[in-house]
Amino acid sequence: MSFNTHKLLESKKKAILEQWMKNQLADDSLREDLISNEELRSQSEELISALVGNLSMADLTDLDSDEWSPVIEILGGISITRARQGFTPRETGNFVFTLKEALLTVLQAEISDNPQLLFEESMKINRLMDSLSVVTFETFIKGREEVILRQTDEIADISTPVIRVWDGILALPIIGTLDSARTQIVMENLLQEIVETGSSIAILDISGVPAVDSLVAQHLIKTVSATRLMGAECIISGIRPEIAQTVVHLGIDLSNIITKASLASALAYAFKSMRLEVRKANSVQKSNTF
């Protein structure tokens, strides 16, 4: 900056902070439930110090330059934590916008006698703060996206449990659409579990799969083939009437796969092929109540 605005602002750092805090506290969107005033003040102070310290040497137009990285880092850090804490974009944006107002207020008070200069300097500050607020938004969205990505991973993890329903029998309920990535996870988990438990029968339950198209069917067929290679038999259960009709119309041949309408009948089949029998106990135990 030509005129010694940076020096001015540096000397007025305290005043700016006070003004900024005042603006922030007066704002309707202040979230006292999410962040304490002390925390807010320390965040603000940290940012102002970095910002004002930078004004002197850095190129105001090029935010990509190395001089700006500390400021952007601080701002990004604040913005990402806010995204995780559940602030709205407006609230996070206001954090920067109120700083702009504070800077401009102080600037105006200091060079009120020279409108031309005031305008020029204000424009510079304006431009700078606008690009900083864009940075805030970008990092805010990045923070949110990270949350979504994490949740996607979590869903992928929890959605494929392999259950030992009996000694030697595994069940794997599939819920939601089966795409290539999920099939891979399902197959890995299933095959791993077959090795670990030495199971000879695996039941794939597709009650929770909304539609079976040719790709899903292909994935199922692949999973069954892989299971067979491991020496285990694979039963597909949970085929609903509408799914059965759709599969027939599509022309998918599932005839060499054992399929059952419900998990119960698949389990019954599994018991039968393992020569196990489930019977009602025929002698009623004499109880002491009589």
Binding site for other proteins (CB under 8 A): 177, 179, 210-215, 217-218, 241-243, 245-246, 249-252
Q: Say what the alpha-carbon torsion angle 182, 188, 194, 197 is, to the nearest 10 degrees.
A: -100
Beta-sheet pairing, 233-237 with 201-208: parallel
Minimum CB–partner distance for residue 250 and other proteins (Å): 3
Residue number, 61 or 152, with CB nearest to other proteins: 152
Q: Are 137 and 93 in contact (CB under 8 A)?
A: yes
CB of 254 to other proteins, least distance (A): 11
What count of residues does the chain have? 290
What is the Cα–Cα distance from 253 to 260, expressed in whole angstroms? Answer: 15
Amino acid letter for position 277: E
Confirm if 67 and 17 have CB atoms less than 8 A apart: no
Q: 6 or 144, CB closer to other proteins?
A: 144
Residue type for position 144: R
- Closest separation between CB of residue 182 and other proteins, Å? 11
Shortest reach from residue 132's CB to other proteins, in Å: 30
Q: In the bound complex, what is the minimum distance in angstroms from residue 213's beta carbon to other proteins?
A: 4
Q: Is 237 exposed, middle or buried (0-12, 13-18, 19+ CB in 10 A)?
A: buried
C-beta closer to other proteins: residue 65 or 225: 225
Give min distance, CB of 29 to other proteins, in A: 31
Q: Which two tokens stand for residue 260?
A: 């059952």
Closest-CA residue to 229 (of 266, 197, 202, 210) = 202
CB nearer other proteins, residue 82 or residue 182: 182
Question: How far, in Å, CA of 187 to CA of 235, rounded?
Answer: 14
Nearest to 100 by CA among 136, 60, 59, 133: 133
What minimum distance in Å lies between the beta carbon of 8 and other proteins? 49
Minimum CB–partner distance for residue 210 and other proteins (Å): 7
Q: Which of 24/183 has CB closer to other proteins?
A: 183
CA separation for the pair 158, 286 (Å, rounded): 45
When the beta carbons of 249 and 280 are compared against other proteins, the nearer one is 249
138 versus 213: smaller Cβ distance to other proteins: 213
Give the sheet arrangement for strand 258-259, strand by strand: 163-166, 169-175, 201-208, 233-237, 258-259
**Cβ proximity to other proteins, 204 vs 212, nearer residue:** 212
Residue with tokens 């020029």: 120
